[in-house]
Amino acid sequence: GEDVEQSLFLSVREGDSSVINCTYTDSSSTYLYWYKQEPGAGLQLLTYIFSNMDMKQDQRLTVLLNKKDKHLSLRIADTQTGDSAIYFCAESINFGNEKLTFGTGTRLTIIP
């Protein structure tokens, strides 16, 4: 079955860049997503990338995809205290009308 893995914790100083990594096993994954979950809240879609792309940038967020190695990363530039949250990567074959397989989540802590 599908397996999506992330490191559990990341601590970054305010103002530095954060890089959150994710690996997946399903070669048929077509869409890869990054979600943000703040304490006690649901999930907010930050960005997604289609598997024929290797990079996508959206303001402070940069997503890099290495399809050969099945490796996805999310870079947050100029990390702020409001970026403290758990970040989940997820994958699906189709966009939307299908279940998502989530990674374990990375808890990002910002050091003042």
Rule CB under 8 A: which residues touch another protein?
35, 40-45, 88, 95-97, 99-105
Residue 105's nearest CA partner among 64, 61, 74 is 74
Where b means 16+ CB within 10 Å and e means fewer, 27-38 reads eebebbbbbbee
- The CB-of-99 to another protein minimum distance in angstroms stands at 5
- The CB-of-26 to another protein minimum distance in angstroms stands at 14
| Cβ distance to another protein smaller for residue 5 or 14 | 5
| Cβ distance to another protein smaller for residue 40 or 112 | 40
Residue 91's nearest CA partner among 53, 52, 49, 55 is 49
- The CB-of-17 to another protein minimum distance in angstroms stands at 25
